Amino acid sequence: MRIVVTDSGLGGLSVLAELESRLRGNPVFRNAELIFFNSLYSHELGYNTIESFSDKVIIFNNALNSIEANYNPDLILIACNTLSVVYPHTEFAKNSETEVKGIVDGGVSLFANNLQNKSDKIILFGTPTTINSDVYKQLLVKAGIEETQIVNQECLELESVIQNNPNSDKTNRLIAEFVQKASELISSDSKNIYAGLCCTHYGYSESFFYTELSKQFNSNVKILNPNSKMLDYLFDSKVVSNNCKTIVKVISQVKLRKNEIKLLSDILLKDSPKTSVALENYEFIENLFQKK
Q: State the CATH number of the domain containing residue 181.
A: 3.40.50.1860
Q: Which amino acid is at 51?
A: E
Task: Answer yes or no: do 204 and 248 share one domain.
Answer: no
pLDDT band with cut points at 50, 70 and 90 for residue 188: low
* Last residue in a domain, options 224, 244, 261: 224
Domain that holds residue 112: 104-224
Q: CA 276 to CA 26: how far, in whole Å?
A: 20
Residue 289 resides in a domain: no
Residues 75-109: pLDDT tens digits?
A: 999 999 999 999 999 999 999 999 999 999 999 99
Residues 278-292: pLDDT tens digits?
A: 999 999 999 999 988
Residue 120 resides in a domain: yes
Residue 98 resides in a domain: yes
Residues 102-142: pLDDT tens digits?
A: 999 999 999 999 998 888 999 999 999 999 999 999 999 99
Task: Answer yes or no: do 236 and 216 share one domain.
Answer: no
Q: Phi then psi for 107, rounded to 5 degrees?
A: -65, -45
Q: What is the DSSP string of 58-96?
A: HHHHHHHHHHHHHH--SEEEE--HHHHHHGGGSHHHHH-
Containing 197, the helix (H) or strand (E) segment is strand 192-198
Task: Answer yes or no: do 116 and 175 share one domain.
Answer: yes
Residue 290 resides in a domain: no
Sheet with 283-284: strands ordered across: 99-102, 75-78, 2-7, 31-38, 245-252, 283-284
Q: Phi then psi for 235, rounded to 5 degrees?
A: -95, 10
Residue 184 resides in a domain: yes
Residue 292 resides in a domain: no
Task: Answer yes or no: do 37 and 141 share one domain.
Answer: no
**How many domains does the structure of the chain reveal?**
2
Q: Whole-model pTM?
A: 0.92
Residue 152 resides in a domain: yes
Task: Answer yes or no: do 144 and 159 share one domain.
Answer: yes
Task: Answer yes or no: do 24 and 78 share one domain.
Answer: yes
Task: Answer yes or no: do 210 and 116 share one domain.
Answer: yes
Task: Answer yes or no: do 98 and 114 share one domain.
Answer: no
User: Could you give the maximum distance between any two Cα atoms of the chain, in Å?
Assistant: 54
* Last residue in a domain, options 174, 191, 224: 224
Going by C-alpha positions, the residue among 107, 105, 104 that lies closest to residue 194 is: 107
Task: Answer yes or no: do 98 and 233 share one domain.
Answer: yes
Q: Which amino acid is at 57?
A: V
